[in-house]
């Protein structure tokens, strides 16, 4: 005779090909659910011309430096927001969370005081951090206290996106893959490389004007 307990035991058995999410993937589930429930998200997009870049530019380093510059020009996006207490904390230092894809899941290590780190220091931090993630030797403290996040998803694929803000942060910048655009110069069509940019912000804590000024500053720095 089949009884209730038999049915519950059968339901509890893990089906072939399924897995219980743990570690980074479990953390991602919680973070994305929290964002979906609590953030009034708006995405703004732009393109940065890379016509002035040299062939040896380090894209990741330039992106981090551009985010730092934009935070300095429009600090409202480098902030935390607490809806329960209706308080906003605008940070004087820039702690950038950099999204890193791995076979173990999504990690977002934090480059603290990025505004005080040189280009060489940023590259060393990136290399050491990615190696640590691959070897699963990254500590929890290295994943905390970001004030803004950067996702260079274009290194894998994609042009524009709607990146997800991770509370209590109020903004995340996404960079798509480099593409060619045709522009008119002196009456003639010219092909140039551009970087598509997508930024999602929490409209509860930031105005549209603040977001627009931020992404304009981001573009200006990338076009140097």
Three-state secondary structure string covering 155-175: HCCCCCCCCCCCCCECEEEEE
The region that residue 158 occupies, defined by phi over 0 for left and psi between -120 and 50 for alpha, beta otherwise, is left
Residue 87 pLDDT: 97
Task: Return the closest-CA partner of residue 75 out of 132, 25, 147.
Answer: 147
H or E element that contains 24: helix 23-38
pTM of the model: 0.88
pLDDT of residue 11: 78
**One pLDDT digit (tens) per residue for the chain, 224 residues:** 899 988 888 877 777 777 888 888 888 888 888 888 889 999 999 999 999 999 899 999 999 999 999 999 999 999 999 999 999 999 999 999 999 999 888 999 999 999 999 999 999 999 999 999 988 889 889 999 999 999 999 999 999 999 999 999 999 999 999 999 999 999 999 999 999 999 999 999 999 999 999 999 999 999 99
CA 171, CA 202: separation in Å to the nearest integer?
6
pLDDT at 123: 97
pLDDT of residue 16: 74
Can you give the pLDDT at residue 20? 80
């Amino acid at each position: 005779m089949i009884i209730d307990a038999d049915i519950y035991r059968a339901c509890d058995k893990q089906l072939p090909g399924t897995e219980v999410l743990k570690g980074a993937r479990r953390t991602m589930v919680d973070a994305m659910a929290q964002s979906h429930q609590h953030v009034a998200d708006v995405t703004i997009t732009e393109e940065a011309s890379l016509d002035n870049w040299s062939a040896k530019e380090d894209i990741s380093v330039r992106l981090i430096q551009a985010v730092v510059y934009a935070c300095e020009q429009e600090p409202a996006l480098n902030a935390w927001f607490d809806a329960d207490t209706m308080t906003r904390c605008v940070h004087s230092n820039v702690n950038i969370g950099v999204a890193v894809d791995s076979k173990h899941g999504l990690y977002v290590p934090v480059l603290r005081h990025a505004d005080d780190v040189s280009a060489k220091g940023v590259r060393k931090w990136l290399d050491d951090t990615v190696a640590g993630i691959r070897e699963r030797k990254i500590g929890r403290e290295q994943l905390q206290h970001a004030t803004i996040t950067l996702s260079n998803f274009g290194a894998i694929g994609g042009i524009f996106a709607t990146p997800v803000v991770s509370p209590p942060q109020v903004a995340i910048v996404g960079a798509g893959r480099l593409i060619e655009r045709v522009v008119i110069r002196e009456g003639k069509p010219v092909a140039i490389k551009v970087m598509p940019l997508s930024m999602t912000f929490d409209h509860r804590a930031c105005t549209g004007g603040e977001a627009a000024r931020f992404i304009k500053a981001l573009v200006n720095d990338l076009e140097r």
